[in-house]
Each structure stands twice: as C-alpha cells, then as structure tokens.
Amino acid sequence: MAEAYFPHELRPLGGGRDPRLTLRTLDLGPVLVGHVGWGADVRIACDYPGAYEINLPLTGHLESRGRRGPVTSVPGQATVFRANTPSLISHWDATCTVLGVKFDSRWLEREAERVLGGDRVRLRGRLPDQLEFSDGQARAWRQLIGGLTANLHDPGPFGDIVREQLAGAVAAGFLLAGCPEAATGPVPAPRAIRRLLDQLHDDPARPWTAGEMAAVAGTSVRRLQEGFRQWLDRSPTEYLTEIRLHRADADLRANPALTVSDVAAAWGFSSASRFAAAYRRRYGMSPSETRR
C-alpha cells in the first residue's frame, strides 16, 4: 500500500479480524486510480506527502477528520485529502472498499492553473473536504472514474499518449467538480476560439487535453466549454472528435492498405472499438462497411 499510495500508520480497531489488503491499480503517470479494501475495521494516519488523495467509497463508510470537523463518506460521496497535510481516517469499516484517486500535487496544481484559469491557483484552500456525486460535473467525474476500473491491473489498451489524455481528463473533471465557484472570467470571444480551432484542424491527432485547449484559447476549461456552447453549439471535445472522424473517413476510402486499427491510432482514438462506435454514430455504418 505504501509503494502504491503513501507511507502510513495502520491500526486495527476493536479487536476484530486482522486486515487483509485488497489492492488493484491503474497507473496513468501523475494520476493513480486504485480499488482498495482492508477487510477489517482500521484507522489510518497519513501525511499525504507530495500528492492529493480522493477516496470514493463503493461500500461501507469512511470516517475522517476534516478542516471543519468530522467527515463521513458513503457511496455517492468522496473524502478529499490535501497534499502534505497530516490527516486521520478514524474509522475505515470492515465492509468499506473505495476507489482511491491519487494526484501528484505539483502536476495537479499546474493543471489547476489551466483548467480554472489564472496564474496562481490556491488549490489547497479551494478544495472541499467532501464531494457529493448527486448531479452535474461531480457525477460526470464519478462516472469517468468508474469507467476506468475495468482496466485496473490491465492497462494494456492504454499507450503513453492515451494515458496522458486520460490523466488530463481525470484532473479536469475533478477540478471542475471540486471548485465550482472558480473560473469566473468572461466567455472567450470568437477570435480566441478561432485560434484554437485553427490548431485543432492543423493537428487533430495530437493528444489534446482540456487544459491544453483552454491554454491555447487563453481562458479556463469551464469558460472554453461555455464559449463553444455559445458559438458552436457543442463542446471542444465533440468538435475535435468530428475533425478526427472526417480525417479517418477520408483515409478509409483512400487507402485500403490501412486497417481500421491503423486509422483509429493515426487520428488519436484510444482504441479501434471506440473509434468504430463514434464512426457509426456519425456516419450510420461501421468503418469496415465504409471500406467495402
């Protein structure tokens, strides 16, 4: 556990059964997603050196001490632990299993500048002690993390480029969910959006993250999304996917030597199956049908 996450002090509670660790992880570089359980009632003291940790209970409950008092998280909630801050999980109950998302602190703080806007983002003070996943951006982020669990201990589909994109998506989703009051600047003007559109058309296969697109437009991720909705009636990611599909369709028709997997990889899709699903939604047939 210390090797994957953090050094810590673990103590069994109540004279029950001994802990038996369950741990499966997906390493995305600056982001680690893991499934963790102890199978016993325990308490954990940790300083969270160099990284933020968000624990999302799947079962049971997690009691800890936040900045403003006790925090108890159950399924549908998550507890947020700040980097380099002594913290105590006073009761991790025997039935509790969590999805634990670990962010390298320096990397996440740099991402916060791009996602939330501004040169200096005081992330530690903005983050809440707990997230609720009832609706909105927080629920979308919870769904993203849940989707990644299929690849715990099996990161085969994810090359370095896809890992980078996924790490950026996980960070952007968390920051937008955890700091909903941030990014209060104006919606970018059409000129700023055009600057981004030109770069997307010039290099659509680049592993664009939401933060990178916002940086090109000179705004935050949230304001960029609002600007795209206002001026183009779609999100930046939807627009980029349309460009990629158009280029991929041209390749399928012009070069029969390329496989569907070759085309998918060439235009930045994380897998041939995801490319095929997006292609069918756009063109009403599969890539192989188009080729025939």
pLDDT tops 90 at residue 67: no
Could you state, in order of their start, the residue ranges of all structural domains in the chain? Answer: 9-151, 184-292
Rg from Cα positions in the chain:
21
pLDDT of residue 57: 97
pLDDT tops 80 at residue 76: yes
**Averaged pLDDT, 4-17:** 87
pLDDT of residue 158: 65
- The region of weakest confidence among 7-16, 37-46, 48-57 is 7-16
**Averaged pLDDT, 107-113:** 88
Do 184-292 and 9-151 fall under one CATH topology? no
Which residues 6+ apart lie within 8 Å of 245 measured at CB?
267, 278, 279, 282, 283
CATH number of 184-292: 1.10.10.60
Q: Give the three-state DSSP class for 136.
A: helix
* CATH H superfamily, domain 9-151: Jelly Rolls (2.60.120.10)
pLDDT of residue 62: 96
pLDDT tops 60 at residue 15: yes
The 10 Å CB-count burial string (b at 16+, else e) for 89-122 is bebbbbebbbbbbbbbbebbbebbbbbbbeeebe
pLDDT of residue 271: 80
Q: What is the pTM of this model?
A: 0.74
> H helices within the chain, ranges in order?
105-116, 123-126, 136-148, 160-178, 190-202, 210-217, 221-232, 236-254, 260-266, 272-283, 287-291
Distance (Å, rounded) from C-alpha 289 to C-alpha 1? 48
